[in-house]
A and B are shown apart, each in its own frame.
Chain A
Amino acid sequence: MQVLISATLRGFFGKNAAFSTDADTIRGVLDALTGEYPDAKKVLFEEGGTLRSFIRIYAGEHDWTATEHWVKPLPPGKDVLLLPAIAGGAPAKSIIPDERRKAVSFDDAEIERFEKHFMLSEIGVKGQKRIKTARVVVIGAGALGAPVIQYLAAAGVGTIKVVDDDEVSLSNLQSQVIHSTRDLKRPKVASAKDTVRNINKTIVFEAEAVRLDAGNAAELIDGYDMVIDCTDNYKTRYLINDACGLCGIPLVFGAIYQYEGQVGVFHLNDGPCYRCAFPAPPPAGLVPTCAQGGAISPLPGIIGSIQANEALKLIIGIGEHLSGKLLIIDSLYLKSRIVEIKKNPSCPLCGTHPVITEVEDFDYEEFCGLKETEEEAVIEGFTPEELASRIENGDAMTIVDVREPHERAILRFPDAIVIPIGQLARRQNELDPEKDTIFICKEGKRSILAINTLREAGYKGSLYNLKGGIDAMKDIMFSHEGAWL
C-alpha cells in the first residue's frame, strides 16, 4: 500500500513524496513511518502522544484522522494520504455585534459609575457599551454564581438571567456571599435579585426559579450572548454544554472541589466543548461533588471571579481567553497551570459526525458505566438493618470504608478498615477471603465500584455492599455504640 505525503510535510520524511508499507491500519502505517523516519515522531505527535493539530490522515477521499479509525482495516486499493490541516483564525473579537453596541448610550450617572472602565484604553466607551448591551445567563446562584452575578452586575452587564430552583440554607452562607442570614429559606434567585438591585437597579434581572433539565435547557438560553455554568454537578454540566453547542452560544465553565478549581471557555466560534475535554464523567458517587466534598470558603470567590473576568473579556473583545484551554488552580499550594483542550473530531456534539442533535436527558449512571447490567454479576448487599444485626451478633466479617478522609472525620464507622478505591487491587491481600467483606461509602455507589474493582482484580472471597450507604444507616443506633454520631 502507498502512503502519499503532502509536500508541506515531506521535509520530515526524507523529502519523499510516497512511502510503501504492508501495514493494513492507520496505526500500522504511522508505526511504519516513524520506524523509518524516527525524527518524524516529534512532528506527528505531541509529547503526550496525541496527533498534532495540523496533521490530517485520509484513506482515499475519507478523513480517518480520528483515533477511532486507527485500528480499523484500511479499505483495499486506496492510498493513505498524509496531509496538513491548514487552518487558523483572527484574534479575539467581541461576541457582541457592532450594531448593538452603536445603539447604546450613557447618562451622567453611568459615566460616573463606570469611570474606572473608561480609563482603560482597551475597554473605553465602546467596551462599556458592549457590556451594557450584553445578555448573559448564569446557571446556578450558589457558590460560583455569587461572585459571577455580583461582578457582572457591578461591571454593568445589561441583562442577567439567573436559573436556580434552590432555596438559601444556613450551610450556603459559608461561601455564597450573594445571600445573607435574612435570606434563609428564600429562593436563591429572589435573594440574588435583591443583591443585584442594590448594586444597580437599571440592570434587567430575569429570575428563573426552575431546575435546568433536558426539556427546558435550550429554551432557557436561546437568544442570549453567553452562558456561565456555575452549577455543582456533572449531569447538569453536560446538559448545559449540549444546549450551548446546539444554540451556538459560548460557555464559560467553572468548577470547584475542596481547594482546587477549574475554568474554561467552550463553544467559542469553532472551539472545543466540555465533551471534547471530558468525554465521560467520573462514575456517579466516585468523585464527590462540591456539595459532598466541601470547598474552602474563598475558593468559589477566586474561580467565579475568573469566570466573570473571562465573560467580560469575551464581551469587550480583548485579551487572551480560555477557549481551548482549561485553567486549574490549586489554592492550597498556590499553584496554577493551563492545560490545552483540543477539539475532538469524534466528539458526539461538535465533532465531524455529531450524533447529538437535541438536548437529551440521559441516565447518568449508565453514561459512566456504573449501572449494573444483566450480564454483570449481581452485587449482593445488606440493608442497614441487616448489617446492624450482624454487627450486634458479632459475626466475623471485614468492613471496608472507601469514603474520603473528611467524610470519615464527620462520621466514623466503627471497626471498619480504610482502603481508598485506588489502592484496593494492590492491597487485596489485607482482606481475608474466608470472611465476608462489606464495603461502605456515603451513598452505596462508590462501594459498588469498589466491589467491581476487586472482582476485576481477581479477588475470590465474598463481597457485599451496604445498600444506600452510611446515609441510609444514620438513623440506626447500635446498642453497644451509644456515641455513634
Chain B
Amino acid sequence: MNCFTCSNEAYEEMTKEARRAYPKECCGILFGREREIRYAFPVQNVVSAQNSRRHFEMDPLIVYQAECEAEKRGMEMLGIYHSHPDSPPIPSSEDLAYMIPGISYWILSVEQGIEKELRGYAKEPDPKKPVPIRIEKGAAASCRF
C-alpha cells in the first residue's frame, strides 16, 4: 500500500492540540490531497467534561462546514485524528464502531502530557492494522508503521 505522508505543519498542529487537551482527548480533521496530509484542523470535543478523558465526538455540522471550506480550496477530507491520553495508539472498540469506510483514522498517544506515537488505521481492509505513514520532518523522514 502507498505510504501516507503527513506535513510537518499538520503534525505540529496535532501534537500542540493533544498536549493542550491532556488529560482529555483532542480531536480534529485532516485535509490534503490523495495520500498527502497537509493541514490539521482542530475541532472541539463535544463530549461532556466528565467523559472527555476517554471519549471524543465532533459536532456533525462543524465537520460539514469544515469540509465545505476545504473543498473551496481544492482540498479533501482525508482523515480524522484524536488523542489517547496515557494509552497506546490502538483503536478502542468504540473507535472501530465509528470508522467510516474510505476515511483514515489517526490516533496520537500522549503520555504524561507529551506526544508519543502517531498511528493511522482504515476500516478496509483491516481496521486493526496500522497503515504506513511518513512524517515530513526535514529530509530524514522515512516510511514507518
A-to-B contact residues, CB < 8 Å: 4, 6-9, 11, 43, 53-54, 56, 58, 61, 63, 81, 83-93, 248, 269-270, 320, 324
Contact = CB atoms under 8 A, between A and B. Distances in A.
B55 A269 contact: yes
A57 B31 CA distance: 23
Contact of B93 (A6, A86, A320): A320
22 contacts: A6-B63, A6-B64, A8-B67, A8-B100, A8-B103, A9-B100, A43-B101, A63-B60, A84-B60, A84-B100, A85-B57, A86-B60, A87-B47, A87-B57, A88-B55, A89-B56, A91-B90, A91-B92, A92-B92, A248-B50, A270-B47, A270-B51
B116 interface: no
Contacts of B94: 87-89, 324
Interface string B73-108: 000110010101111101111110111111101000
B141 interface: no
Contacts of B50: 248
> 3 closest pairs, A vs B, by CB?
A88-B95, A83-B60, A87-B57
Contacts of A54: 97-100
B58 interface: yes
B48 interface: yes
B25 interface: yes
B51 A88 contact: no
A338 to B, nearest CB: 11
Interface residues of B, number: 41
Contact of A89 (B25, B61, B71, B102): B25
B60 A56 contact: yes
A43 B99 CA distance: 11
B54 interface: yes
Nearest to A84: B100
Contacts of A89: 25, 54-56, 92, 94-95
Given A89-B55, A90-B84, A90-B85, A8 B60 contact: no
Interface string B94-137: 11011111110100000000000000000000000000000000
B37 interface: no
Given A90-B87, A93-B87, 5 more contacts: A9-B100, A84-B63, A87-B98, A89-B94, A91-B92
Contacts of A83: 60-61, 63-64
B10 interface: no
Contacts of A84: 60, 63, 100, 103
A86 B58 contact: yes
Contacts of A93: 53-54, 86-87
A89 B88 CA distance: 12
B27 interface: yes
A63 B71 CA distance: 24
A87 B55 contact: yes
Contacts of A81: 60-61, 64
A61 B61 CA distance: 8
A47 to B, nearest CB: 15
B139 to A, nearest CB: 33
A87 B58 contact: yes
